[in-house]
Amino acid sequence: MKLISYLQKEEDLIRAKEAGLEEVIIGTDVFSRFGSLTIDKANDLAKKCLALKIRPVFEWDVLMVQTKFEIIVPKLNEVDFNSFKAIRVQDPGAFGYILEHYPNLPIQLNLETGNHNLIGIQRWIDSAKERVERIILSIEFPKAKLEEYITKLKVSVEFLGLGRILLFYTPRSLLGPLVFDHDDSEVVSVHNRPIEVYGSSEESPHSGFPIIENRHGTFMFNIKDHCLLENFLELQQMNLAYCRIDLRFVEQNTNLLKDIQTLNDSFDSELAKSIKEKYPAKVIRGYYQVNKSDALFSKLKNKRTLRNDENYLGDILEVNKKKHLGLLIRNESRQLKVGDQIEIRTPDGKVKNTVIHELKNSKHESLEEASNGQVVFFSHVSGVSVKSSVYLA
Q: What's the whole-number mean pLDDT along residues 322-333?
A: 92
**Residue pair 200/209 in contact by the 8 Å Cβ criterion:** yes
Q: Higher confidence at residue 206 or residue 47?
A: 47
Q: In 10 A of CB 266, how many CB atoms?
A: 7
pLDDT tens-digit map of 26-62: 999 999 999 999 999 999 999 999 999 999 999 999 9
Beta bridge partners of 355: 341
For 56, left (φ over 0), alpha (ψ -120 to 50), or beta? beta
Q: What ranges in the chain are assigned the alpha helix state H?
A: 10-19, 39-51, 66-72, 92-101, 118-127, 143-152, 176-179, 184-189, 232-237, 256-265, 269-278, 297-300
Q: What is the pLDDT of residue 253?
A: 67
Q: What's the whole-number mean pLDDT along residues 212-231?
A: 95
Query: How big is the CA angle at 130 (ends 127 and 136), to the nearest 5 degrees?
Result: 80
Burial class (CB in 10 A: 0-12, 13-18, 19+), 304: middle
- What whole-number distance in Å separates Cα of residue 163 and Cα of residue 83? 27
* Global pTM value: 0.76
User: What's the DSSP call for residue 122?
Assistant: H
Q: Per-residue confidence at 294, pLDDT binned at 50, 70, 90?
A: confident
Average model confidence (pLDDT) for the chain?
Answer: 91
One-letter amino acid identity for 49?
Answer: C
One-letter amino acid identity for 5?
Answer: S
- Residue by residue, what is the 3-state secondary structure of 271-324? HHHHHHHHCCCCEECCCCCCCCCCCCHHHHCCHHHCCCCCCEEEEEEEEECCCE
Q: In 10 A of CB 206, how many CB atoms?
A: 11
User: What's the DSSP call for residue 253?
Assistant: P
Check the CA dihedral 233-238-240-243 and report its sign.
Answer: negative
Q: What's the whole-number mean pLDDT along residues 284-298?
A: 81
pLDDT tens-digit map of 83-108: 999 999 999 999 999 999 999 999 99
- What whole-number distance in Å separates Cα of residue 42 and Cα of residue 56? 10
User: What's the DSSP call for residue 231?
Assistant: G
- What whole-number distance in Å separates Cα of residue 192 and Cα of residue 118? 39
* The pLDDT of residue 277 is above 80: yes
**Residue pair 229/144 in contact by the 8 Å Cβ criterion:** no
**Residue pair 8/24 in contact by the 8 Å Cβ criterion:** no
pLDDT tens-digit map of 133-175: 999 999 999 999 999 999 999 999 999 999 999 999 999 888 8
Q: Per-residue confidence at 109, pLDDT binned at 50, 70, 90?
A: very high
User: What's the DSSP call for residue 252?
Assistant: P
**Residue pair 27/34 in contact by the 8 Å Cβ criterion:** yes
- What whole-number distance in Å separates Cα of residue 214 and Cα of residue 368? 66
**Residue pair 249/195 in contact by the 8 Å Cβ criterion:** no
Q: What is the pLDDT of residue 301?
A: 66
Point out the least confidently predicted range of 34-38, 218-222, 247-251. 247-251
